[in-house]
Amino acid sequence: MSVDAPPVTPTIAPLTRRKDPRQQTQRILNVVTLFLGVGIWWALSATGINLPSPPEVLAAAVKLAADGTLWNDMLASLTRVLTGFALGTALAIPVGFVMGWYAWARGLLEPWVQFFRTIPPLAIIPLAIVLMGIGEQPKIFVIFLAAFLSCVISTFQGVVQVDRTLINAARVLGAKDGTIFAKVVVPASTPFILVGMRVGLGSAWATVVAAELIAAQEGLGYRMQQAQIYYQLPTIFVGLIVIGILGLIMDRALLLVEKKLTGWQERR
């Protein structure tokens, strides 16, 4: 049996990724703007405005790092964020799936999710402190709530938008509900879940600092609060910059995971 050559000659995008010159200029501009920003900051602080200069902030950072305070604070804040975020998404993903898959679950749960979503997590803090004291619990709870709410919504939307045709295609290939769920619904909603996780991480991070501002013995938010009382502007700057950098690193890490897991998507 001879098989003819395929009658349709395919043209596809090159598989290997070449260095995009435009991307390189972007990189260069990114670095340039970094120096530019620090330069403007330095210039402003030199004009006599009440701003600490970059070397002052650097000195404060070195001092805080040397005596271990900075690492302790980072560890404390990161532990809270990651615990709350992990618990929040771990619950959000199954709840989101159930809401998307079963109409009855949607009917029961969606009003509550939508209601709590409209309350800023920060507004829960007073209640959480009254009910759970000033230990780790209320802080982690508030972060958990923030991460849960943003992740549950997008997981649920991810399941709802799964292409009907894909489900039908799986059915005619002999797949039953369990297989369809695991092999079609889960992968098809992964992009949505990851977007939800990124948003959840953002709000978890935003919430932790606020929670620490109110009641804590350590943490980046607490340190800034203390610095405010003693008028230590450089320390406040160190706190802000470290929070920014940590948030950025975590977001990039999730973006990397997203690229790995959802590279199959057709982007228009």
Q: Which residues bind another protein (CB under 8 A)?
A: 1, 3-8, 10-13, 15, 163, 165-166, 168-175, 179, 183-184, 187-188, 190, 262-266
- State which residue, 15 or 66, has the beta carbon closest to another protein: 15
Q: How far is the CB of 109 from another protein (least distance, A)?
A: 28
Q: How far is the CB of 199 from another protein (least distance, A)?
A: 22
- State which residue, 115 or 264, has the beta carbon closest to another protein: 264
**DSSP per-residue letters across 14-58:** -SSPPPPHHHHHHHHHHHHHHHHHHHHHHHHHHTTSS---HHHHH
- State which residue, 67 or 163, has the beta carbon closest to another protein: 163
Tell me how far apart the alpha carbons of residues 262 and 190 are, in angstroms, rounded to a whole number.
7
Q: CB within 8 A of 160, min separation 6: which ones? A: 100
Q: How far is the CB of 200 from another protein (least distance, A)?
A: 23
Tell me how far apart the alpha carbons of residues 259 and 265 are, in angstroms, rounded to a whole number.
10
- State which residue, 4 or 20, has the beta carbon closest to another protein: 4
- State which residue, 172 or 249, has the beta carbon closest to another protein: 172
Residues present in the chain in total: 268
Q: How far is the CB of 7 from another protein (least distance, A)?
A: 5
Q: Alpha-carbon dihedral of residues 177, 178, 179, 184, nearest 10 degrees?
A: 70
What angle in degrees, to the nearest 10, is found between the helix axes of 186-214 and 233-262? 170
Tell me how far apart the alpha carbons of residues 266 and 14 are, in angstroms, rounded to a whole number.
15
- State which residue, 97 or 205, has the beta carbon closest to another protein: 97
Q: How far is the CB of 10 from another protein (least distance, A)?
A: 6
Task: Please tell me what DSSP assigns to residue 176.
Answer: -
Q: How far is the CB of 46 from another protein (least distance, A)?
A: 53
